[in-house]
Structure 1
Amino acid sequence: STIVISSPVITTYKEPISGWIDNMYGPCGIIVGIGSGVLRVFSGKVDNKANIVPVDLSVNALLASAWDIARKTYDTPPIYNYVPDADNMVTWKEYMEYGFEYGCNIPMRKSIWYPRFTIVPWRWQFVILSFLYHTVPAMFMDLSMIVVGKKPRMLKIYRKIHKFCSVMEYFSSNDFKFDNDNVRALSEKLEGADKQIFGFDMRHLDWKELFRVSLVGLRLYVVKDDPRSVPESIKRHER
């Protein structure tokens, strides 16, 4: 037997198709929230390392660990921490900045507000700013909906957003250090075609490319925006 522990996952890097995901939990939810204009403030320390990994590479590492224990007997189960490699990491600040940069190039067609985002290091700052940036506008929007005879929904949406933020705050406010020597050693055991098909070495990951395909994938597979709507969305974004 073996134990594989993975960091929070985001979209695929390359397989089965670049940028695929079927939900917006975890870090992907942050990007969707920013892109749609509903997430305006978040609590976390921006210089902390972002321990996130693409889901397809995480699955490859899991498959490789099963292959390894099938061909070799260990006295104690090996533990694989599948995390970003210390030689190739990004911070939460870079994750947010890349997301914002690429998001402006392919804006969401049904965004509610123009994307603007503030990260604050302290919880009390988040409480104050989220009330001003989230709750107050939501109250006015819900009031407008009631006036025109529609069902109010923004406060309900923000309750879910704030619950999600409280979960992610643990990861963004703390700086974690993991030992991934076993993962490195496992990667070196793969040879030839296996190394190409089941590659998972995070030292060779192009973060900018991953974030670019993630934005495209989130827009297409989660938000369900037609790629042909990008020119129209850009004009709306500029207005």
Structure 2
Amino acid sequence: MHFILEPAAEEFLVYDVKEKPRDVITVAKWLDKNTLDIVTPSLIAPHPNTYTYSKRLAESLVAEEVENIPVSIIRPSIVIPAVEEPLPGWVDSLNGPVGLIVGAGKGVIRSMHCKGENRGQFIPVDYAVNTGIVVAYLIGTGQVKSKEMPVYNLTQDVLLQLTYREILNLGRTISHEYPFEMQIWYPDGDMRSSKLVHNIYSIFFHWLPAILIDFIMILCGQKTFMIRIQKKIYNGLELLDFFSTREWYFKSEKFLALNEYLTEEDKKVFQMSDFLKFPLEEYLTTALLGTRQYCLKEDLSSLPRCRQKQKM
């Protein structure tokens, strides 16, 4: 199944919405929580969750003001650790692929429902921030003018095409070389394109080990934690299903063309689309070590000890 997220016939387009954003806001204020929970599935369809639905409403709301104030929309794809700023590999959240890296690296994620041949769409966090600054400047100073809403899709896919399978294989090699602290199991696992097969693997490699570990913790008089962690992992993977099992295509030529407005000095300061600056393996290594240091607060001095534990 393939999705084109920006129609080819028009450069400046905002997705249509069935409802007016202000009407939805009014209804959400008026209805009580139980009633709102009941009507939400039919209201947001075909969106998989309120997160994507609310982003679409927000875009429509901003587009209504295009004739009144200078506005634009930038759509970052999957945000990943920084290339250079504020520090190489910097990240401060376990959302998205970073959480998967940590879960797999610590041995608690052994299976994911995903089609490995599908291409991934990514943007480093510093590239996304720099693009936001550049677009705000260009729109605010009137260098980019349009009667329609300027929309920029931020992704690496035009310059650097990567499948989920390629990223997994390379990430597995790097995580073995630079292991995390507190590994529950040897880091491994794989993607399964079949939901049924994934569920079977989840029972044997996610839920049963979690139950066993918590049972041992109870016998030792300690606080249980594994089932709680697996519930969070299960809910997170369920949210990703809609995106990880579909192929997504973004038109990002307008984003890449932003460099034409910058001087050579500006390009050095506001790097946005130099996805080939570092080899992929070098970037992923930096990203994993950045996650280890800045997100998990695990000092790099513990690497030798973690490698010994992983071998055992």
| TM-score, scaled to structure 2 | 0.74
User: Which residue number in structure 1 is paired with residue 31 of structure 2?
Assistant: none
Alignment equivalent of 1:53, drawn from 103, 123, 140 = 123
Instruction: Output the amino acid matched with 1:117.
Output: G
Rounded Cα–Cα distance in structure 2 between residues aligned with 1:163 and 1:220: 26
Q: How does 1:94-105 map to 2 (within 5 A)?
A: 94-105=166-177
Alignment equivalent of 2:302, drawn from 229, 235, 238 = 229
Aligned-pair Cα RMSD in Å: 1.3
Structure 2's unaligned 5+ residue stretches are 1-70
* Superposed displacement of residue 203, structure 1: 4.5
Deviations 1:179-221 (A, max 9, x none): 0111121122211210011011155343322211110011111
Corresponding residue SS for 1:18: coil
Instruction: Sort the Cα spacing of 1:85 and 1:203 in 2 relative to 1 into closer, same or farther, 3 A.
Output: farther
Greater relative CO (CA pairs within 8 A, separation 6+)? 1
Structure 1's unaligned 5+ residue stretches are none
Rounded Cα–Cα distance in structure 2 between residues aligned with 1:85 and 1:198: 20
Corresponding residue SS for 1:149: coil
Rounded Cα–Cα distance in structure 2 between residues aligned with 1:221 and 1:112: 21
Corresponding residue SS for 1:29: helix
Asked if structure 2 preserves the Cα contact closer than 8 Å seen for 1:85 and 1:202, the reply is no
Rounded Cα–Cα distance in structure 1 between residues aligned with 2:174 and 2:103: 14
Asked if structure 1 preserves the Cα contact closer than 8 Å seen for 2:105 and 2:187, the reply is yes
Instruction: Point out the more displaced range, 85-94 or 189-198.
Output: 85-94
User: Which residue number in structure 1 is paired with residue 52 of structure 2?
Assistant: none
User: Which residue number in structure 1 is paired with residue 152 of structure 2?
Assistant: 80
User: Which residue number in structure 1 is paired with residue 107 of structure 2?
Assistant: 37
Instruction: Output the amino acid matched with 1:33.
Output: G
Rounded Cα–Cα distance in structure 2 between residues aligned with 1:205 and 1:88: 11
Rounded Cα–Cα distance in structure 1 between residues aligned with 2:186 and 2:297: 19
Corresponding residue SS for 1:232: helix
User: Which residue number in structure 2 is paired with residue 158 of structure 1?
Assistant: 230
Rounded Cα–Cα distance in structure 2 between residues aligned with 1:165 and 1:37: 15
Q: How does 1:105-144 map to 2 (within 5 A)?
A: 105-144=177-216
Corresponding residue SS for 1:136: helix
Rounded Cα–Cα distance in structure 2 between residues aligned with 1:26 and 1:203: 20
User: Which residue number in structure 2 is paired with residue 200 of structure 1?
Assistant: 272
Instruction: Output the amino acid matched with 1:149.
Output: G
Asked if structure 1 preserves the Cα contact closer than 8 Å seen for 2:152 and 2:252, the reply is yes
Rounded Cα–Cα distance in structure 2 between residues aligned with 1:83 and 1:233: 35
Asked if structure 1 preserves the Cα contact closer than 8 Å seen for 2:107 and 2:185, the reply is yes
The alignment status of 1:20 with 2:93, answered yes or no, reads: no
Instruction: Point out the more displaced range, 206-215 or 12-21.
Output: 206-215
Alignment equivalent of 1:213, drawn from 286, 289, 298 = 286
Corresponding residue SS for 1:163: helix
Rounded Cα–Cα distance in structure 2 between residues aligned with 1:115 and 1:230: 15
Query: What is the aligned-residue identity percentage?
Result: 31
Corresponding residue SS for 1:84: coil
**Equivalent residue pairs, number:** 239
